[in-house]
């Protein structure tokens, strides 16, 4: 057995009395827990001891109404991603993947903003903390996703890599902007106590244009040091930035940047700014002085900000493969011995090391739902970044994570519909999972059943279609809605069940003497051919209709054919023959001689089979008598009819 | 005898099931995600005298642990003064818990909303516009039922103060608002499930069932049998929705399991007048535009919302005919020979070469079902299983 990566967390179930033993059962997403009467010594009693069953759930997020929007919206993006054509060379698909990645992130952001609003407006402090926690989780998710987008999906080369990383840091450090807003809204921004914080923050984030504008405000207040400010302004404006779209090569940029760097270093060395603490600090930052940077921990706030700032002012042409070296050293430098490395830090570090699998693995361990890892892994897989990483369980990692996520959705009362598309895009095990899950969706209404059926029919899951229709048909049958039941079995093309329902119709007819649900039986159409019994039911009803319309000849022909073509079940022959009686007794001859012979043959066949089957078995004497009289009557009528028919036919012939 | 166009029929190939959509997609405002699967959306009626656009709509949800009836506002179009008329998301005004799925929902009048539930209950909600709250004003629990179980109600039609509901139990029930009891029940009106009901005239209702039948019921008649039955021949495709032409009451449109749009003339024959390939899955709703009935809207389980536009032959220059017109085949034998073309509805124009029918997709690619739509004036609202509501304030009608 493999070792566990982290020790599992302990969850106390407060409802279980202290010292009692617990039993449990696995569910797809929850665990059912109950008290048992287990005793350490003596005869142990199995079975539950308390009267409650508790549901323990790992993933609460799925039940948050706001996060549901995340699930629904990302479902849409996911489906869009799957339809991107496989045959297009992956190079030209990169912009598409980047834009899909951005769509995912904007959904996360939208969700985060809504959660933040609710967290502020709610009066319940407990809820507020819960929302607050969710916000910080989403924040971390977005941060990781964005970094993965820059490093893996966009995969920017040296030069533009740093520009992307700068954007990443700026986006996730909103503090500077908030402070800047405060400062700029005050009466005299240059005197605001956060003024220098803002300027330094701008420089740390490489937002030099904004830093210069801020500095200009201070310069006008200190005419004495005007030259010094002018010098700094010049340095800031001259700092070269790589322009990926331009004609400049990376080497040319590097040379230019080195010249600038030396110039800044010169000014620092000849103490040009020594009279002004802040300007000297900025100058130190510009040359990438590590100690000066580390002094600004407050403003940097995170090690990865420190990393990017350090790269900006020391190694602006950093290559992707060199990142991990700087990342590791910055992390150690930034975190002093007291502070602990948090999971987020190691995930980001893994990303900088380009260890995609470690990123996904750590995220799976830390986060309490599969949404993030499933969607990110899927996107990375589409970018062809995951190479046949087979797990020793399930199929591959993408599929494993998608199925976990989708199974979670499936347990939800309403989100199960989204899950179907996820299963669809898991080629190996998706269908099997869907087959297992779809049958277990509770069907409260026909509307819901129809939707589930559509899902199954579109995927040719005939087994499931049959089972769902059968459930619905059985329910209709239980509620004595034969028509409804029949329409369900027709939909499933379930011949056996259609036969069963037809039997019920015929039974009803035999006991009541009238048909129920005529609107349906009269309009069976081609559906009649589904089962023999159903065909018989339809035809038999047709006979009654013809008879009712006094179209005796046609009725008689149909009746006879029901028996000779063996459509009618043998048990029903007596009823059919009895139905023939009034036709035989009509004044005019309806059954021809040949037809009468056939009728006689049918009667004999029936009586002989009855005789051999059980002569005087269980049926009471009275019933046998009735049967006997019926047969006698029939024989008499048949003989009379035969006589009339022969006479009539003879007359016509001559 | 078979209708001329039907799926699986040999003629299906030349009717080209994929209607060539002429425009990609009409701009629909962005989705509003509401964290509930929407089963019904309906505009609050506006008074006929004014040319006002609707601004309030109601939605019902289904398949959630707690279902709701919600009232939404899209803002007062007059007050904003923005030239593009684009005002952002619909805003939730108020909501009320609903027991069971909302399987149908209609406005009885400006203030009252009638729902039928999967529990079989029929409920009238009142929307108090002063306090912006919703409360239950009247309820008939278990109106639809089996002998020993609840039966889901499936459809409701209102002609204030009268309310007609149908259900899976095959019963038609007539209620009157503010009247405690049930006015009339037609037991066993159908042996299969009745899926939808609509008023044809004030005393006549039309129902559709799982067996592809339309039944006309004259509520003045005391016997419990339909005055007329129309049905699809061939496969009995279940019908799920029905709507009546607003001006010509004999014209009726239905949609069903195969996603086909059927137009019927209830005066003539017992078979559909024309069948048009529309959606690739169940059609859940069909609506004629209430004031411009040359336009029709349908939505489906396949996640699409279609806008159909038909034009009378005289209105179009002849060079526009031909290319691009969708497949519409009609039983030309049924078309009245001669007759006054101008009064005849374009929907019943028998000659396919003369009729022009254009269809437009109104939603961007969508995978989950569009369960309901409603159109009034220039405004259209629809709700989906993707838990989103879409509003379009500039429907080209």
Task: Kindly list the domain boundaries of chain A, sorted by start residue.
Answer: 1-58, 168-318, 576-654
Q: Is the pLDDT of residue A379 over 90?
A: yes
Most confident by average pLDDT, A91-100, A175-184, A601-610, B296-305: B296-305
Is the Cβ of A449 closer than 8 Å to some Cβ of chain B? no
Degrees to nearest 5, angle at CA A26 with A62 and A70: 10
Cβ–Cβ gap A483/B191 under 8 Å: yes
Q: Average pLDDT of A229-250? A: 88
Residue of A61, A76, A454 to mutate, testing the B interface (most B Cβ within 10 Å of its Cβ): A76
- Please report, for residues A129, A492, B296, B331, the alpha-carbon distance to residue B250 in angstroms, rounded to integers and kept in the order given: 61, 34, 16, 17
Which H or E element spans position A49? strand A48-57
Q: Is the pLDDT of residue A564 over 60?
A: yes
User: What distance in Å separates residue B249's CA from the closest CA in chain A?
Assistant: 25
Q: The tokens of A557 are what?
A: 């022909």
Under 8 Å CB-to-CB from A85, ≥6 apart: which residues? none
Instruction: Supply the ipTM of this predicted assembly.
Output: 0.85
- Please report, for residues B59, B80, B135, B241, B363, the alpha-carbon distance to residue B88 in angstroms, rounded to integers and kept in the order given: 18, 11, 28, 31, 17
Q: Average pLDDT of A82-87? A: 78
Residue B228: closest C-alpha in chain A = A519
The pLDDT of residue A297 is 86
User: Mapping DSSP to helix (H, G, I), strand (E, B) and coil, where does residue B372 land?
Assistant: strand
> Given B63, B148, B368, which is nearest A448 (Cβ)?
B63
Assess contact for A403 and A376: CB atoms under 8 A: no
The pLDDT of residue B112 is 95
Assess contact for A205 and A173: CB atoms under 8 A: yes
Give phi and psi for B254, each to the nearest 5. -135, 160
User: What distance in Å separates residue A73's CA from the closest CA in chain B?
Assistant: 8
> Given B191, B234, B257, which is nearest A519 (Cβ)?
B191
Assess contact for A119 and A135: CB atoms under 8 A: yes
Question: Distance between CA A413 and CA B346 in Å, rounded?
Answer: 45
B301 neighbourhood in chain A, CB within 8 Å = 450-451, 454
Is the Cβ of A418 closer than 8 Å to some Cβ of chain B? yes
The pLDDT of residue A313 is 93
Assess contact for A278 and A196: CB atoms under 8 A: yes
Percent of chain A exceeding pLDDT 90 equals 36
Q: Is the pLDDT of residue A107 over 80?
A: yes
The pLDDT of residue B314 is 47
Residue A527: closest C-alpha in chain B = B235
User: Looking at A54-58, A563-567, B108-112, B237-241, which range is the least confident one?
Assistant: A54-58
Nearest in space to A569 (alpha carbons), one of A495, A619, A503 = A503
> A54 or A620: which carries more pLDDT confidence?
A54
User: What distance in Å separates residue A631's CA from the closest CA in chain B?
Assistant: 36
Question: Distance between CA A95 and CA A156 in Å, rounded?
Answer: 12
Helices (H), A425-461: 430-438, 446-458
A76 neighbourhood in chain B, CB within 8 Å = 366-367, 386
The pLDDT of residue A237 is 92
User: Looking at A141-155, A265-279, B330-344, which range is the least confident one?
Assistant: B330-344
For chains A and B, CB pairs below 8 A equal 133
Assess contact for A137 and A97: CB atoms under 8 A: no
Q: Is the pLDDT of residue A375 over 90?
A: yes
Task: To the nearest 10°, report the CA torsion of B323, B329, B332, B334.
Answer: -140
> Given B100, B281, B368, which is nearest A417 (Cβ)?
B368
Question: Distance between CA A481 and CA A566 in Å, rounded?
Answer: 29
Under 8 Å CB-to-CB from A258, ≥6 apart: which residues? none
The pLDDT of residue B299 is 96
Dihedral of alpha carbons A69, A72, A76, A81, sign: positive
> Given A446, A448, A519, which is nearest B193 (Cβ)?
A446
As a whole number, the mean pLDDT across chain A is 86
The pLDDT of residue A348 is 94
Give the pLDDT confidence of A149-194 residue by residue, as tens digits: 999 999 888 889 999 999 999 998 888 888 889 888 888 888 888 8
Q: The tokens of A289 are what?
A: 């002085």
Question: Distance between CA A358 and CA B120 in Å, rounded?
Answer: 53
Starting at the earlier edge strand, list the strands of the sheet with B329-330.
B239-244, B251-256, B261-265, B274-276, B329-330
The model's confidence at residue A39, banded by pLDDT at 50, 70 and 90, is low
The pLDDT of residue B17 is 33
Question: Distance between CA A137 and CA A140 in Å, rounded?
Answer: 5
Assess contact for A72 and A92: CB atoms under 8 A: no
Q: The tokens of B97 are what?
A: 């818990």
Question: Distance between CA A538 and CA A524 in Å, rounded?
Answer: 7
Q: Is the pLDDT of residue A654 over 60?
A: no
The pLDDT of residue B315 is 46
Question: Distance between CA B242 and CA B246 in Å, rounded?
Answer: 12
Cβ–Cβ gap A450/B257 under 8 Å: yes
The pLDDT of residue A485 is 92
Q: What DSSP letter does each residue of B317-350 carry, written as one string? A: -GGGSSTT----EE-GGGSPSSS-TTTS-GGG--
B387 neighbourhood in chain A, CB within 8 Å = 68-69, 72, 414
The pLDDT of residue A468 is 94
Q: Average pLDDT of A386-397? A: 67
User: Mapping DSSP to helix (H, G, I), strand (E, B) and coil, where does residue B166 land?
Assistant: strand
Residue of A73, A419, A484, A498 to mutate, testing the B interface (most B Cβ within 10 Å of its Cβ): A484
> Given B64, B169, B385, which is nearest A413 (Cβ)?
B64
Q: Is the pLDDT of residue A449 over 90?
A: yes
Question: Distance between CA A414 and CA A408 in Å, rounded?
Answer: 12
The pLDDT of residue B45 is 92
Count Cα neighbours of A221 within 13 Å in the Cβ-side half-sphere. 10
Give phi and psi for B3, each to the nearest 5. -65, 150
Nearest in space to B154 (alpha carbons), one of B101, B95, B190, B201 = B101
Assess contact for A480 and A486: CB atoms under 8 A: no
Cβ–Cβ gap A484/B63 under 8 Å: no
Domains, chain B: 43-80+88-231 (2.130.10.10), 256-314+346-397 (no CATH)
Assess contact for B281 and B272: CB atoms under 8 A: no
Helices (H), B135-268: none
Crossing angle of helices A90-121/A125-148, nearest 10°?
160
The pLDDT of residue B81 is 42
Give phi and psi for A360, each to the nearest 5. -65, -40
> B338 or A618: which carries more pLDDT confidence?
A618
| pLDDT tens series, chain B, 397 aa | 333 333 333 333 333 333 333 333 455 667 889 999 999 999 999 876 666 788 899 999 999 989 999 999 987 554 444 444 445 688 999 999 999 999 999 999 999 999 999 999 999 999 998 999 999 999 999 999 998 889 999 999 999 889 999 999 999 999 999 888 899 999 989 988 999 999 999 899 999 999 889 999 999 988 888 999 888 877 788 999 999 999 888 899 999 999 999 999 888 877 777 888 889 999 999 999 998 898 999 999 999 999 999 875 544 433 333 333 333 433 333 333 333 333 456 777 655 555 678 888 998 877 899 999 999 988 999 999 999 999 998 888 8
Is the Cβ of A527 closer than 8 Å to some Cβ of chain B? yes
Cβ–Cβ gap A448/B229 under 8 Å: no
Which H or E element spans position B165? strand B162-167
Cβ–Cβ gap B282/A450 under 8 Å: yes
Nearest in space to A79 (alpha carbons), one of A411, A381, A418, A452 = A418
């Amino acid at each position: 057995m493999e070792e566990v990566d982290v020790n599992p967390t302990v969850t106390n179930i407060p409802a279980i009395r202290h010292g009692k033993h617990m039993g449990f059962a696995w569910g797809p997403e929850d665990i059912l827990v109950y008290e048992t009467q287990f005793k350490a010594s003596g005869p142990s009693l199995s079975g539950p001891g308390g009267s409650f069953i508790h549901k323990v759930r790992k993933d609460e997020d799925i039940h948050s109404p706001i996060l549901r929007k995340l699930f629904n919206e990302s479902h849409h993006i996911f489906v869009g991603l799957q339809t991107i054509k496989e045959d297009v060379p992956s190079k030209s698909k990169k912009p598409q993947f980047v834009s899909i990645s951005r769509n995912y992130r904007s959904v996360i952001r939208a969700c985060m903003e809504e959660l933040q609003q609710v967290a502020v407006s709610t009066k319940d402090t407990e809820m507020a903390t819960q929302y607050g926690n969710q916000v910080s989780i989403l924040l971390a998710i977005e941060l990781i996703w964005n970094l993965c987008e820059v490093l893996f999906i966009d995969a920017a080369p040296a030069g533009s890599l740093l520009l992307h990383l700068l954007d990443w840091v700026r986006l996730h450090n909103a503090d500077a902007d908030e402070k800047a807003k405060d400062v700029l809204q005050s009466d005299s921004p240059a005197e605001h106590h956060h003024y220098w914080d803002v300027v330094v923050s701008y420089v740390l984030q490489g937002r030099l244009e904004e830093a210069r504008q801020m500095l200009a405000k201070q310069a006008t207040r200190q005419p004495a040091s005007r030259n010094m400010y002018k010098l700094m302004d010049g340095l800031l404006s001259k700092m070269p930035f790589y322009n990926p779209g331009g004609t400049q090569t990376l080497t040319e940029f590097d040379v230019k940047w080195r010249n600038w760097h030396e110039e800044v270093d010169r000014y620092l060395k000849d103490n040009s700014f020594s009279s002004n603490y802040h300007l000297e600090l900025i100058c130190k930052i510009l040359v990438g002085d590590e100690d000066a940077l580390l002094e600004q921990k407050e403003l940097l706030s995170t090690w990865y900000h420190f990393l990017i700032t350090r790269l900006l002012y020391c190694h602006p042409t950093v290559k992707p493969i060199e990142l991990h070296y700087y990342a590791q050293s910055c992390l150690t430098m930034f975190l002093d011995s007291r502070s602990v490395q948090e999971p987020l830090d190691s995930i980001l570090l893994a990303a900088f090391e380009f260890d995609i699998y470690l990123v996904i693995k750590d995220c799976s361990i830390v986060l309490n739902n599969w949404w993030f890892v499933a969607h990110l892994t899927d996107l990375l897989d589409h970018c062809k970044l995951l190479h046949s990483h087979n797990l020793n369980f399930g199929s591959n990692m993408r599929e494993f994570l998608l199925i976990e996520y989708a199974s979670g959705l499936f347990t939800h009362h309403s989100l199960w519909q989204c899950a179907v598309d996820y299963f669809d895009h898991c080629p190996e095990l998706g269908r099997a999972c869907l087959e297992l899950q779809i049958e277990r969706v509770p069907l409260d209404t026909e509307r819901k059943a129809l939707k589930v059926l559509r899902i199954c029919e579109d995927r040719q899951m005939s087994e499931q279609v049959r089972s769902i229709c059968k459930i619905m048909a059985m329910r209709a049958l239980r509620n004595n809605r034969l028509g409804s039941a029949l329409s369900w079995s027709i939909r499933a093309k379930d011949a056996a069940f259609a036969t069963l329902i037809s039997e019920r119709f015929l039974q009803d007819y035999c006991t009541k003497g009238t048909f129920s649900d005529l609107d349906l039986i009269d309009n069976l159409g081609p559906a009649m051919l589904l089962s023999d019994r159903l065909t018989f039911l339809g035809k038999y009803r047709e006979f009654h209709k013809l008879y009712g319309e006094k179209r005796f000849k046609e009725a008689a022909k149909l009746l006879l054919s029901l028996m000779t073509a063996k459509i009618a079940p043998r048990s029903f022959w007596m009823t059919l023959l009895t139905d023939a009686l009034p036709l035989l007794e009509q004044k005019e001859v309806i059954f021809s001689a040949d037809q009468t012979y056939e009728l006689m043959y049918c009667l004999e066949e029936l009586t002989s089979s009855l005789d051999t089957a059980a002569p005087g078995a269980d049926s009471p004497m009275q019933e046998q008598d009735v049967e006997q009289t019926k047969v006698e009557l029939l024989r008499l009528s048949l003989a009379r009819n035969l006589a009339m028919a022969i006479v009539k036919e003879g007359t016509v012939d001559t | 005898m078979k209708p001329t166009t039907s799926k699986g029929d040999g003629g299906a190939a030349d009717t080209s099931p994929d209607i060539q959509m002429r425009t990609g997609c009409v701009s629909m405002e962005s989705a509003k995600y509401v964290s509930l699967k929407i089963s019904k959306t309906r505009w609050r009626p506006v008074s006929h005298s004014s040319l006002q656009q609707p601004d309030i709509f109601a939605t019902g949800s289904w398949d959630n642990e707690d279902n709701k009836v919600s009232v939404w506002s899209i803002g007062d179009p007059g007050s904003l003064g923005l030239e593009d008329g684009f005002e952002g998301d619909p805003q939730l005004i108020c909501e009320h818990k609903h027991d069971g799925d909302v399987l149908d929902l209609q406005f009885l009048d400006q203030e009252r909303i009638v729902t039928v539930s999967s529990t079989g209950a029929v409920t009238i909600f009142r929307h108090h516009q002063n306090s912006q709250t919703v409360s239950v004003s009247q309820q008939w629990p278990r109106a639809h039922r089996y002998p020993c179980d609840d039966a889901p109600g499936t459809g409701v039609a209102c002609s204030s103060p009268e309310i007609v509901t149908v259900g899976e139990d095959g019963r038609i029930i007539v209620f009157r608002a503010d009247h405690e009891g049930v006015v009339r029940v037609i037991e066993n009106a159908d042996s299969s499930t009745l899926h939808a009901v609509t008023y044809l005239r004030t005393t006549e209702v039309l129902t559709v069932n799982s067996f592809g039948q339309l039944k006309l019921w004259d509520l003045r008649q005391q016997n419990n049998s339909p005055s007329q039955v129309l049905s699809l021949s061939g496969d009995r495709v279940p019908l799920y929705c029905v709507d009546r032409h607003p001006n010509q009451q004999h014209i009726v449109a239905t949609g069903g399991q195969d996603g086909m749009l059927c137009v019927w003339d209830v005066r003539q024959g017992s078979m559909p007048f024309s069948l048009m390939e529309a959606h690739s899955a169940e059609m859940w709703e069909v609506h004629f535009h209430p004031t411009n009935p040359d336009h029709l809207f349908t939505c489906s389980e396949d996640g699409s919302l279609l806008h159909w536009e038909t034009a009378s032959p005289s209105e179009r220059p002849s060079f526009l005919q031909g290319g691009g017109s969708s497949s519409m085949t009609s039983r030309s034998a049924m078309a009245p020979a001669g007759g006054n073309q101008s009064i005849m509805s374009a929907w019943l124009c028998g000659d396919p070469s003369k009729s022009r029918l254009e269809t437009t997709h109104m939603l961007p690619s969508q995978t989950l079902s569009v369960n309901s739509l409603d159109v009034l004036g220039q405004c259209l609202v629809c709700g989906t299983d993707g838990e989103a509501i879409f509003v379009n304030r500039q429907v080209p009608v």
